Every structure is written in C-alpha cells, then in structure tokens.
Structure 1
Amino acid sequence: MEAAIAVLVAQFKAFAGADGSTDTLSKGEFQNLVTSQLPNLVKNSADPAVIEQLMSSLDQNDDGELTFLEFWQLVGRLANQHGGFSR
C-alpha cells in the first residue's frame, strides 16, 4: 500500500505542477489527470460538464482548485465503487 500511496502523491504533484504549484489542481490540471489516469473509472471524463460537476462535488472550500485532501475524496469514492463496497 505504501507504493500505491507514493504513486498517488507523485501523480497529484506532477499534474498539479503544470502551472508551477504542486499544492493544488486547477480545473484544467484536474481534467488532464482524470482523462489520462482514470479514463475507465470516471465515465465521460472528456466532457467538460462532467469535470465541472465532479470538481464542484470535491472542492469543499469553493476556491476553484483541489487540494490533495479534496482530491483524495475522489480516490476513495472510486476505490469504494471499484471494490464493490458501495452496494
């Protein structure tokens, strides 16, 4: 599990760093991450409306960016669904 966490953190920082800051994902960075890294788990990820709705549901402080903790909610939701725990 440690390796999986290291990969998640590294991927977040890599995508977040596109604008110079590795602390948060902008909407564009988030869309790039989701479409390239989660295409089979996030349906219609290329649709801007899907990204907008998903980002809004994660962005707890409504600042238009996602912190790692806000992004982590998505990881948890997807893992829960993928593992069949959400039934």
Structure 2
Amino acid sequence: MESAINALVSGFKAYAGRDGSSDTLSRDEFYRLVSSELPNFIKKADDPAAIDQLMSSLDKNNDGELNFLEFWQLIGQLASKHGRFSQ
C-alpha cells in the first residue's frame, strides 16, 4: 500500500504546478491527469465538459483548483467503486 500512496502523491505532483501553484491542480492540469492517468476509471475522460463537472463536484472550497485532499476524494470514490464496496 505504501507504493500505491507514493505513486498517487508523485502523480499528483507531476501534474500540479504546471500552470501555477505546485500544491494544486488547475482545470487544465486536472484534465491532463484524468485523460492520461485515469482513462479507464473515469467515464468520458476525454470530454472537457464532463471533466469540468467532475472537478466542480470535488472543488469543495470553490477556488477553481483541486488541492490534494480534494483530489483524494476522487481516488477514494474510484477505489470504492472499483472494489465494489458499498457507499
């Protein structure tokens, strides 16, 4: 599990900061991350409107960016769905 956490943190950091803050994902950074790294887990990963909607649902402080904790919510949701755990 440690390697999985390391991979998630490294993946987040690899995309965050390209457009601004290295601690957050902008809309474009999030789109690139989802379409490159999660195409089989996110429906319509190549649809910018669908990604905008997904990002809005995760952006709890409505600042237009995703911090790691906001992004982590997505990872938890995807893992729960993939593992077929009840919500």
Shorter-chain TM range is over 0.9
CA deviation digits over 1:32-63, x for unaligned, max 9? 00000000000111111111110000000000
Moved beyond 4 Å, runs of 4+: none
Q: Within 2, Cα distance between the matches of 1:12 and 1:86?
A: 26
- SS of residue in 2 equivalent to 1:62: coil
| Paired-residue identity, % | 66
Which residue of 2 is the match for residue 16 of structure 1? 16
After TM superposition, list the pairs within 5 Å mapping 1:1-87 onto structure 2.
Answer: 1-86=1-86
- SS of residue in 2 equivalent to 1:18: coil
- Give the TM-score normalised by the residue count of structure 1: 0.95
Q: Within 1, Cα distance between the matches of 2:7 and 2:68?
A: 13
Partner letter of residue 17 of structure 2? G
Residue 17 of structure 1 deviates from its aligned partner by 2.5
Q: Within 1, Cα distance between the matches of 2:86 and 2:62?
A: 26
* Higher helix residue share: 1
- Give the TM-score normalised by the residue count of structure 2: 0.95
Q: Within 1, Cα distance between the matches of 2:40 and 2:64?
A: 25
Residue 18 of structure 1 deviates from its aligned partner by 1.5
Q: Within 2, Cα distance between the matches of 1:68 and 1:36?
A: 18
